[in-house]
Structure 1
Amino acid sequence: MSDAPSFLTAFLDFDRIASGDAAQVMASVRQRPDAASVFVFDDRTGERLDLDLRPESSDAAAPAEEAPRGVGRPRLGVVAREVTLLPRHWDWLSRQPGGASVALRRLIDEARRNYAERDSVRAAREAAYRFMTVMAGDLPGFEEAARALFAGERERFQAQIEGWPEDVAAYAQKLAAPSWAAA
């Protein structure tokens, strides 16, 4: 999970009505009489968010109850979770300097460095597809656009979404853009 600020985009029908940080978009959507019909998307993941659009109450400033302390070192951001491996994997990990946790962290950091570009392309394509499924799933060319997106065929993708409503096509292109830049 990222600590980066959340940027959202809101649509009413096929029109983009708000875009920006979460607080700005939520304030804008809450002011609308048709707020219940608005779809809000996370700009990072393309996911449609189910948001509480009720006006903010004064109770929102009250401190939340502290959650029970879990296993690990929460103050350092370390949370214990379960990993299932085969005996040969545990044997190999036990022979590594620093133990299993150090070896796993080192392997993960190396994989993140080596596959960062590939992961970025995949994330951008998945984000664009999530959005497209909700907003353009019934539009002409959707299936071909999705195929082109995952095949990395930018020109074919753009040709398929050309007839879509302007704001929907523009947002789909925005979400997909990192996958074209990296390819």
Structure 2
Amino acid sequence: MLPSHCIAFLGTDLLAKGPLAEVVSAVKRALDSGTEHSIAILDLATSRPVEINFTGTEEEVLQRIPRMQPRSAGRPKLGVVAREVTLLPRHWEWLSSQPGGASVALRKLVEHASRDARQADAMREARDSAYRFMHELAGDEPGFEEASRALFAGDAARLEQVVADWPAGVRAHLLALAQPAFAPPADAPGTAPGAAPGAAT
């Protein structure tokens, strides 16, 4: 499935960023101009490569791109799905003693757990996206390995220092992608202490 927004680089120079159709048009014009630079098109959120068939005219290329359906307004309909859950007897006894019974208690536990994990998930996704981008666009840049270590260690200052001399477009997008991967300072007002992302496996 194609993303709704992406980013394209001509070599290491930013070519276009935004809605898919706009980026594809910019890339098509660059290809038709006879550029000898490599072109990379990446999902703006995940940094995964985006494959587009550029044969034909710009209009023909755009016609092959599925139109993104806008999200409907309003809250989505919520449904209850019944599935088997296996627990020890003492777990069932505790759940049954909770207000609303076992089902309500389980739903509350899952909601609390998912909220607690949301920040960690967002940090991991940002880190992975930043690494994919860095590997795709800056794998040959000096300090790539050191920059990777800084990213996975959660060391924002070190990462910024290592990539200071990288091409401006690559550096700016990398740091923007990586920023959510770093835990906020423990003493920052209104924030709770968070653990830095773990090392790559």
TM-score for both structures, normalised by structure 2: 0.64
Q: In structure 2, do the counterparts of structure 1 residues 98 and 53 end up closer, same or farther at CA, with 3 Å as the change threshold?
A: farther
Structure 2 equivalent of residue 171 of structure 1: 173
Structure 2 equivalent of residue 7 of structure 1: 5
How many angstroms does 1:175 deviate by? 0.5
Unmatched tracts of structure 1, length 5 or more: 62-74
Task: Write the deviation string for residues 79-117 of structure 1: whole angstroms up to 9, x where unpaired.
Answer: x9x99x8x557x968x77566xx7776554332211222
How many angstroms does 1:147 deviate by? 0.8
Structure 1 equivalent of residue 141 of structure 2: 139
The structure with the largest strand share of the pair is 1
Aligned residue type for 2:126:
A
Task: Write the deviation string for residues 50-69 of structure 1: whole angstroms up to 9, x where unpaired.
Answer: 223342348978xxxxxxxx
Aligned residue type for 1:147:
R
Structure 1 equivalent of residue 19 of structure 2: 21
Aligned residues: 162
State the alpha-carbon separation in 2 of the partners of residues 12 and 142 from structure 1. Answer: 20
Which 10-residue stretch deviates more, 172-181 or 158-167?
Answer: 172-181
Check conservation: 2:156, 2:179, Cα contact below 8 A.
no
Q: In structure 2, do the counterparts of structure 1 residues 106 and 57 end up closer, same or farther at CA, with 3 Å as the change threshold?
A: same
How many angstroms does 1:32 deviate by? 2.1
Check conservation: 1:48, 1:131, Cα contact below 8 A.
no
Check conservation: 1:122, 1:179, Cα contact below 8 A.
yes
Structure 1 equivalent of residue 40 of structure 2: 39
Sequence identity, in percent? 35
State the alpha-carbon separation in 2 of the partners of residues 138 and 17 from structure 1. Answer: 20
How many angstroms does 1:162 deviate by? 1.1
Aligned-residue CA RMSD in angstroms?
Answer: 3.6
Check conservation: 2:12, 2:169, Cα contact below 8 A.
yes
